[in-house]
Structure 1
Amino acid sequence: MAAGKTALGAILSPVKGRLRWAIAAQAVAATAGVVPFVALAELGRILLDDGPDRSHDAWTVTAIAAGALLFRLIVMLVAGGISHLADNALQFHIRRALVDRLGRVPLGWFSSRNSGQVKQAVQDDVEAMHHLIAHSLLDITAAAVVPAASLAYLFWVDWRMTLVVIAPLLVGLTLYSATMAGMSKNLPRYDRAMGRVNGSTVEFVQGIAVVKTFGQTGRAHREFTEAADSFADFFLGWVRATRYSKAAAEIVLSPVAVLLTTLFGGALFVTQGWLAAVDLLPFALLGIGLTAPVLSLFYASYELRIARGAAERVTGILDTAELPVPDSPRSPAGNHVSYRRVSFSYDGEQDVLTDVDLELAPGTVTALVGPSGSGKSTLAALLPRFRDVTGGAILVGGVDIREMSLEDLYGRVAFVFQDVRLIGDTVAANIRMARPDATDEEVRAAARAACVDDVIESLPRGYDSVVGEDARLSGGQAQRVTVARALLADTPVVVLDEAAAHADPHAEAAVQRAMARLARGKTVLMIAHRLSSVVDADQIVVLDNGRVVERGRHTELVAAGGRYAAMWHAHERSARWRPRDLTPTASAAAAVAQEGAAR
């Protein structure tokens, strides 16, 4: 809670000055809002008086009340305008800061966070603070000022009767405090329970096809119902524990209860001669208006908690470490890539890679193979600086990539991974991201080389079709668009994940042909999931537990009878066992072989 409070204060700092003006204006408006009730009470005194200037005084008081109402309206509009402008400015500031920071964090940071988390911070969490800034702060101000101004006037009329009027308020606040006492403990439990319900719902909906295919509908449904039942049990228990105190507080703080207390107390005071009958009118008018603002303070506490949680998440992203860039970048002399005793750890304790040495000569293909979790993807992702090494160095043209500008690095290194990412723009714009100044003909040429031009031309608006709207691309088609993007970039170094590993047979052949064209004449570092795709590689590097255990060409490694040979023999056995109609690699392998021969 303290962290959220600190985070919210830091988030609001750019607009604190404007918010102070809005709160001050709202305080003035709230005070002006009490004036008509005071005027009405004073009007009753005047009309019950037999003085000679009664008519004149009555019109004067009426004019003051009408003027106060108009003044209140104007100042409230000013306060609301200031707060909404402050909210707009803050949202603009936060979103720009978030996007700016997200543009400078390591690309690997996104691999541990899904798009939903980023969207929540950039959109939902920023929006969650809107109501607090634009509305709740003003509501809280009015809720504090109106009772204070009313009580000040009532104490001036008669302090003893004022104590009678506020008695229900004190009792109700005590009861509400008992109700709210468990909130700090129960709200985190509420969030966890709701998170479990949401998670099981999303999991059930997203996996419904697999669930139904394997006859696990009952199990998946049971997980959801268990989460829902658990939430219901917790929430009902919370409600039951507070239902009596909350109901009692609502009754005591209701306008009817306050009015009855005022009338009974006023009758006693008047009959005892402690209070003039006409002086009971202010208490009847203003007393019933004391409770509603106080109740709004309790309701605002929930919105304040939401805003603090949102601010904490936003601040967490804004505090994310940026990818370091050099003040005076160096430019490489060539495109030879060297891994020098490279080590890497995600948590700073256990190394995922240890003392890896690699030389990637220009115009050669280096394939990384090894069991799952051996470090292949991590090793490849270090070259485009998805993350920085924690030991050793990676050099391009003799220069540590950490000493290069990012523009220079990405002008030399392109990457195509299995996890396809296309933006919600035209297909042409997605390809042109690699070179914003590329002509339409260059974009089409890249698409033709990536074997995706015919697919794009068949879309409703061709290259102007928008991804996610009228451009519905399959996984293999989207992958070829990313290959076209990399072809257009025409970088001398290419990092490839075997992007066709999970494609259907027809798409795989096209993707493999496109990737073969992309790799032609380049320095290629390829992550291989299928050994059949690396037999012609210039260098095969076998990783295990983050270390290089073997390296060489295919024939050399098979003859050596080591780890690679065992993997290759296992691959051959599985290829002979696999039914012919389920083999997705044959046509793709042929295509790659043809491209390799052409190269």
Structure 2
Amino acid sequence: MAAGVYSPLAALRRPAMGLVRLGMVLGAVGALSQLLPFIFIARLGELLLAGSPPDRAALAGLGALVVAGLFIGWAANGAALWLTHIADHRIQADVRRALVAKLGRVPLGWYADNTTGAVRKAVQGDLEDLHHMVAHHYVDLTAAIALPLGGIAYLVWLDWRLALLAVASFPIYALAYGWMMRGFAAKMAQLDASFAQVNAAIVEFVHGIVVVKGFGRAGEAHSAYRAAVDGFSDRYAGWVRPLLRLEALTSMALSVPVILLVSLSGGAWLLANGQIAPMDLMAEIMVAVILPQSLLTLNQGLMAERKAAAAASRIDTLLLTPELPGAVHPKLPRDATICFENVSFQYPDGAAALSGINLYCRPGTVTALVGPSGAGKSTLAKLAARFHDATGGVVRIGGVDVRDIAGEVLYRQVGFVLQEVGLLHGSIADNIRLGRPDASMAAVMAAARAAQIHDRIQQLPQGYDSIIGAGAQLSGGEAQRLSIARALLADTPILILDEATAHADPASEARIQDALSAAARGRTVLVIAHRLSSIAGADQIVVMRDGTIAECGQHGALLARGGLYAALWQAEQGEPAC
């Protein structure tokens, strides 16, 4: 790595590299000790073939050296892996603590832009790649370098021509491997892009399967998937097929029969000319046949290092995610008012979502946000729960800037029920208790009754002890009512409802609306609605368009005004526009 160039992998492993280096030294000792049995066996052969009765003491000494070499190798390798596993444990613990701390400090809105699969890969799959790198790779790599170097050095000491015999077939494979790896990075980038197209085609097909089947266009929908798969297959086969043929041919250069043929042919000529002893050739053969395994280990190590570097880069990107600033001088909100003062918001890519928003929500009232898709309704509501910070203006809860309210205080004031329900792998009761872990079972059941989900829970084999995803399979509407029960139990004075019935069937919607009515009672409610009939009785209706407030008032007054709200209402009711 060039001086001054930042490497995420080097940065992550740096705290434990002292242990890793010590493990590498022991790994080298263990690898070199594996040569001792071969050397001493060759010497044993010399004694046994000497013609005169062998010296028993010398035989016993060499036998003891063989056993000692095996024991030293075993002990050194074991100690090396013990040290590198300790190093890995320290790195894993530090990185996991850093990831957990980071995930607890990023804005809640960040999770909307990053899938759970991506986060899970960083905190599980990527850490597994780092584990192999730290705990195994460095010791294996050191052994794969030390063993052939030590073996070749021993053969050079015996006779430099034996060392050349041992590696005579290697240049063939090295040249072929170098040719095969030409443009590897570019080819992998092309394959990754092709595979991304396959994934996109799968997602598009699965998401649209109902519409596709309903309109009898299944064949056309399949064609996009087939085209993506065929494209990936053609690129992959076009690259790999000739490489496999070459690999099959050139790998023969490292096969044991070829190595034996080269060693015995060259060794026989040297023996015939009296330039080496028979047991020297035996030593060369034993060293030569273990060298290809070292090359294989080196190749696997390079692939492991690439994987670990990519994993470290993803982890580093996550750790560098901007955090939501904490309150420097925390203040307590005095009531449940929500106030937006000249609020604007831009996404990190610079796209404007809100501009010049001024809105006041009195305690105990219901404010409905309506408008066309993309008008900024969800963004505005989420600013009140501090999913993001406003890029302009101030959002106040109870007269206090939300940036001056400690997180644990803010979320005792503000609860929310979103379109996408987040349920944890745990019991039904624990999922409802998420906002109040110390709540009694009676309180949990009361919240479930108010949310119209108690009877359904009782039908489950283990009732409230049923595990989500294992003993409890809930429909979308049932999961939504469970999240409403969670919000009711949390008992926050402010409640944000983001199109909670958007994906519900008519029967579920009616029950969810009953549950929402119970949840809204006595609270300051900010509700985002896609059906205007469900919010006609709201205390104030805010009509949004292009990130601004187009109209604000009650249902009757907005209809009488004949503006955007009236047009939306007429469209929903199926009436002709005036």
Q: Distance in 1 between matches of 2:278 and 2:519?
A: 95
Q: Does the 8 A contact of 2:345 with 2:352 survive in 1?
A: yes
CA gap of 1:562–1:224, structure 2 versus 1, over 3 A, is closer
CA-to-partner distance for each residue in 1:516-545, whole Å, 9 max, x for gaps?
111112111111211112222221111110
Q: 1:435 deviation in Å?
A: 1.2
Q: Which residue is equivalent to 2:30? A: 29
Q: Which residue is equivalent to 2:197? A: 196
Q: 1:386 deviation in Å?
A: 0.8
Normalised by the length of structure 1, the TM-score is 0.90
Q: Which residue is equivalent to 2:558? A: 557
Write the mapping of 1:500-579 to structure 2, written as runs, cut at 5 A: 500-573=501-574
Q: Distance in 2 between matches of 1:410 and 1:570?
A: 37
Amino acid corresponding to residue 556 of structure 2 in structure 1: T
Q: 1:19 deviation in Å?
A: 2.1
Q: Which residue is equivalent to 2:106? A: 105
Q: Which residue is equivalent to 1:369? A: 370
CA gap of 1:182–1:42, structure 2 versus 1, over 3 A, is farther
Amino acid corresponding to residue 285 of structure 2 in structure 1: A
Q: Distance in 2 between matches of 1:294 and 1:64?
A: 28
Deviates more, 1:566-575 or 1:546-555: 566-575
Determine if the alignment matches structure 1 residue 215 to structure 2 residue 216.
yes
Amino acid corresponding to residue 464 of structure 1 in structure 2: D
CA-to-partner distance for each residue in 1:448-469, whole Å, 9 max, x for gaps?
2112222222221121111112
CA gap of 1:112–1:392, structure 2 versus 1, over 3 A, is same
Q: Distance in 2 between matches of 1:96 and 1:291?
A: 41
2:543 match: secondary structure: strand
Q: Distance in 2 between matches of 1:214 and 1:131?
A: 50
Amino acid corresponding to residue 533 of structure 1 in structure 2: S
Q: Does the 8 A contact of 1:175 with 1:248 survive in 2?
A: no
2:335 match: secondary structure: coil
Write the mapping of 1:279-358 to structure 2, written as runs, cut at 5 A: 279-358=280-359
Amino acid corresponding to residue 47 of structure 1 in structure 2: L
Q: Which residue is equivalent to 1:135? A: 136
Deviates more, 1:124-133 or 1:352-361: 124-133
Deviates more, 1:67-76 or 1:394-403: 67-76
Amino acid corresponding to residue 23 of structure 1 in structure 2: M
Write the mapping of 1:457-472 to structure 2, written as runs, cut at 5 A: 457-472=458-473
Q: 1:202 deviation in Å?
A: 5.4
Q: Distance in 2 between matches of 1:73 and 1:206?
A: 55
1:433 match: secondary structure: helix
Q: Distance in 2 between matches of 1:208 and 1:555?
A: 41
Determine if the alignment matches structure 1 residue 177 to structure 2 residue 178.
yes
1:425 match: secondary structure: coil
Amino acid corresponding to residue 551 of structure 1 in structure 2: C
- What RMSD in Å do the two structures reach over aligned CA positions? 2.4
Q: Which residue is equivalent to 1:255? A: 256
CA-to-partner distance for each residue in 1:225-278, whole Å, 9 max, x for gaps?
222222221122112343454234312222222222222222222333433444
Q: Which residue is equivalent to 1:6? A: 7
Write the mapping of 1:337-416 to structure 2, written as runs, cut at 5 A: 337-416=338-417
CA-to-partner distance for each residue in 1:293-313, whole Å, 9 max, x for gaps?
123211322222122212211
Deviates more, 1:205-214 or 1:101-110: 205-214
CA gap of 1:355–1:41, structure 2 versus 1, over 3 A, is same
Amino acid corresponding to residue 7 of structure 2 in structure 1: T
Amino acid corresponding to residue 267 of structure 2 in structure 1: G
CA gap of 1:501–1:230, structure 2 versus 1, over 3 A, is closer
Q: Distance in 1 between matches of 2:454 and 2:394?
A: 40
Write the mapping of 1:434-453 to structure 2, written as runs, cut at 5 A: 434-453=435-454
Q: Does the 8 A contact of 1:178 with 1:245 survive in 2?
A: no
Q: Does the 8 A contact of 2:47 with 2:54 survive in 1?
A: no
Q: Distance in 2 between matches of 1:475 and 1:176?
A: 54
CA-to-partner distance for each residue in 1:198-236, whole Å, 9 max, x for gaps?
444455556555544443332333233222222221122
Q: 1:359 deviation in Å?
A: 0.7
Q: Which residue is equivalent to 2:158? A: 157
Q: Does the 8 A contact of 1:41 with 1:285 survive in 2?
A: no
Q: 1:150 deviation in Å?
A: 0.3
Q: Distance in 1 between matches of 2:70 and 2:168?
A: 29
Amino acid corresponding to residue 120 of structure 1 in structure 2: K
Amino acid corresponding to residue 464 of structure 2 in structure 1: Y
Write the mapping of 1:73-112 to structure 2, written as runs, cut at 5 A: 73-112=74-113
2:525 match: secondary structure: strand
Q: Which residue is equivalent to 2:149? A: 148
Deviates more, 1:365-374 or 1:239-248: 239-248
Determine if the alignment matches structure 1 residue 478 to structure 2 residue 479.
yes
Q: Does the 8 A contact of 1:4 with 1:311 survive in 2?
A: no
Q: 1:574 deviation in Å?
A: 5.8
Amino acid corresponding to residue 473 of structure 1 in structure 2: L
Deviates more, 1:465-474 or 1:102-111: 465-474
Q: Does the 8 A contact of 1:431 with 1:443 survive in 2?
A: yes
Q: 1:145 deviation in Å?
A: 0.9
CA gap of 1:573–1:220, structure 2 versus 1, over 3 A, is closer
Matched-pair identity in %: 43
Amino acid corresponding to residue 197 of structure 2 in structure 1: R
Deviates more, 1:330-339 or 1:402-411: 330-339
CA gap of 1:537–1:4, structure 2 versus 1, over 3 A, is farther
Q: How many residues align?
A: 576
2:472 match: secondary structure: coil
Q: Distance in 2 between matches of 1:575 and 1:531?
A: 17
CA gap of 1:351–1:518, structure 2 versus 1, over 3 A, is same
Amino acid corresponding to residue 534 of structure 2 in structure 1: S
Amino acid corresponding to residue 320 of structure 2 in structure 1: D
Q: 1:344 deviation in Å?
A: 0.5
Q: Distance in 1 between matches of 2:224 and 2:268?
A: 62
1:529 match: secondary structure: coil
Q: Which residue is equivalent to 2:119? A: 118
CA gap of 1:570–1:132, structure 2 versus 1, over 3 A, is same
Q: Distance in 1 between matches of 2:250 and 2:474?
A: 59
CA-to-partner distance for each residue in 1:548-574, whole Å, 9 max, x for gaps?
111111222222222222222222226
CA-to-partner distance for each residue in 1:279-323, whole Å, 9 max, x for gaps?
322212212222221232113222221222122112211211111
Normalised by the length of structure 2, the TM-score is 0.94
Q: Does the 8 A contact of 2:413 with 2:493 survive in 1?
A: yes
> Which 4+ runs in 1 deviate beyond 6 A?
1-5
Q: Distance in 1 between matches of 2:209 and 2:12?
A: 41
Q: Does the 8 A contact of 1:128 with 1:310 survive in 2?
A: yes
Q: Distance in 2 between matches of 1:301 and 1:307?
A: 10
CA-to-partner distance for each residue in 1:359-399, whole Å, 9 max, x for gaps?
11112211111111000011001100111111111011221
1:167 match: secondary structure: coil
Q: Which residue is equivalent to 1:72? A: 73
Deviates more, 1:458-467 or 1:264-273: 264-273
Q: Distance in 1 between matches of 2:285 and 2:72?
A: 25
Deviates more, 1:45-54 or 1:434-443: 45-54
Q: 1:155 deviation in Å?
A: 0.8
2:549 match: secondary structure: strand
Amino acid corresponding to residue 560 of structure 2 in structure 1: A
Deviates more, 1:318-327 or 1:263-272: 263-272
Q: Distance in 2 between matches of 1:563 and 1:213?
A: 33
Q: Distance in 2 between matches of 1:314 and 1:459?
A: 40
